[in-house]
Amino acid sequence: MSASAGRSIEVDFLRGVVLIVIAIDHISSGVLQHAMLHSYAYCDAAEIFVFLGGYASAAAYTGVAARRGELAARWRFVKRSLEIYRAYLLTAALMLVGGAMLSRLPCVPPMVADTGWPILLQRPLQTLGEIVLLLRQPYLSAVLPMYVLFALFVPLVMPLARKAPAAALAASLAIWLTAPWLGMLLPHAEHADWPFNPFAWQLMFMLGMLVRLHPVPADVQASATASRLTRAAFVVALTFAFVKLCIDGHPSPGYMKQNLASVRIVSFLSLAWLCGQAVHLGWVRALALRLSGVVAVGRQGLICFVGGTVVSISIDTALSLAHVRTDNLLADWPIRLLGDASAIALLVMLARAATRLKAGRSGTATVPAALVRVDARARGRLPERG
């Protein structure tokens, strides 16, 4: 939700990586999903996605407020909430259509039930009404209703987050602690709870906002304290990786993700600190400048999220129809890896097509942002790190 001006190429790159990972994670027959974050940490792409959403939202709000005033910034996020709601409806519709198509296959995939198609056949009008009112959220669309609320939440908490970050964090923690009980108040249809409890996940969003509004100073990042934190983060991350890979290989229960369990937060924070150090050292920028396609995916986040749901389901279905074996990691690995690579390529193509379309509408040039930054650096207008 960043404004177009003053965007961080590192944030766009990381968002692009996360969107690609989300698509790969939902290809159950793929190979690369076994190397994704959830395999060696107690968090996954969802935490990073929400955290970066908070970071980008704070950047967008402050940017619009500086140029056009607070009222314009508030109105921008009201409109953004409506944009996300429309994207949710589109994703839900795509899931229903996908469920209808999948139900006609010789071997009906288990995901058909999650798409909402079977219950739509039983109670069409009621089910459509429940989807519109966010009471029922079809497969892969469930994260967007939470973002609808977060977009409305930004203008309300921004004054406190800017002036009293400790108070904002304390309030956010208090809401997180009571989230399981507050989540019971969320409107929902029968047997259709919110997969992401917004009262819990607002903490991750708030952390992203606070990091953007009150970044760690460069001298602190280079201090002895930061070195100790880096070593501690390595120990925590490696410990969790050992436990996940060698002791507890089973996925954590759904309610732990739904209500953002504390172990997920600790796991995320250790990895986030290490990633922050990589950003400080310029490693992430160097990657971003070489992988402009991934940056483009991050810049077209909402479009690529919606498109990624279709891509992942389509490729997963194609692999199932090809009767690929998944009984072990190396079974039929070439075609499964081809499916993963196709998902990445399709997302990059979608992002670049969306970039060209938006540039054509606004009458601007379509020079990739990464190339613009390379040129600016060569001319001495950008520092090596930012």
Query: Using one digit for the tens of pLDDT, what is the confidence trace for 26-55?
Result: 998 899 998 999 889 999 999 999 999 999
Cα–Cα dist 99/114, whole Å = 8
Cα–Cα dist 202/147, whole Å = 10
Per-residue pLDDT, 108? 61
Residue 380's pLDDT band, with cuts at 50, 70 and 90, is very low
Per-residue pLDDT, 282? 94
Per-residue pLDDT, 109? 67
Cα–Cα dist 98/147, whole Å = 23
Distance set, CA 139 to CA 91, 96, 261, 359, 385 (Å):
9, 9, 22, 32, 40
Does pLDDT of 376 surpass 60? no
Digit-coded pLDDT (tens) for 90-144: 999 999 998 888 888 776 666 777 788 888 999 999 999 999 999 999 988 989 9
Cα–Cα dist 376/315, whole Å = 39
DSSP-assigned beta bridge partners for residue 189: 192
pLDDT > 70: what percent of the chain? 91
Does pLDDT of 372 surpass 50? no
Per-residue pLDDT, 379? 40
In angstroms and rounded to an integer, the radius of gyration of the C-alpha atoms of the chain is: 21
DSSP-assigned beta bridge partners for residue 326: none
Residue 4's pLDDT band, with cuts at 50, 70 and 90, is very low
Distance set, CA 60 to CA 66, 79, 87, 220, 292 (Å):
10, 13, 19, 25, 21
Digit-coded pLDDT (tens) for 292-304: 999 999 999 999 9
- Give the pLDDT mean for 77-90: 96
How high is the mean pLDDT of the chain? 88
Per-residue pLDDT, 366? 46
- Give the pLDDT mean for 167-171: 97
Does pLDDT of 368 surpass 70? no
Residue 116 Rama label (left phi>0; alpha psi -120 to 50; beta): left
Closest C-alpha to 134, from 123, 142, 124: 142
Strands (E), 223-308: none
Closest C-alpha to 35, from 342, 336, 376: 336
**Single-letter residue type at 153:** F
On whether the CB atoms of residues 151 and 80 are closer than 8 A, the answer is yes
Residue 235's pLDDT band, with cuts at 50, 70 and 90, is very high
DSSP-assigned beta bridge partners for residue 192: 189
Digit-coded pLDDT (tens) for 180-226: 999 999 988 887 889 999 999 999 999 999 999 999 888 888 889 89
Q: Other CB atoms closer than 10 Å to residue 24's CB: what's the count?
A: 26
Two tokens, residue 308: 């990624």
On whether the CB atoms of residues 203 and 175 are closer than 8 A, the answer is yes
- Give the pLDDT mean for 68-82: 95
Q: Other CB atoms closer than 10 Å to residue 383's CB: what's the count?
A: 8
Does pLDDT of 59 surpass 60? yes
Residue 364's pLDDT band, with cuts at 50, 70 and 90, is low
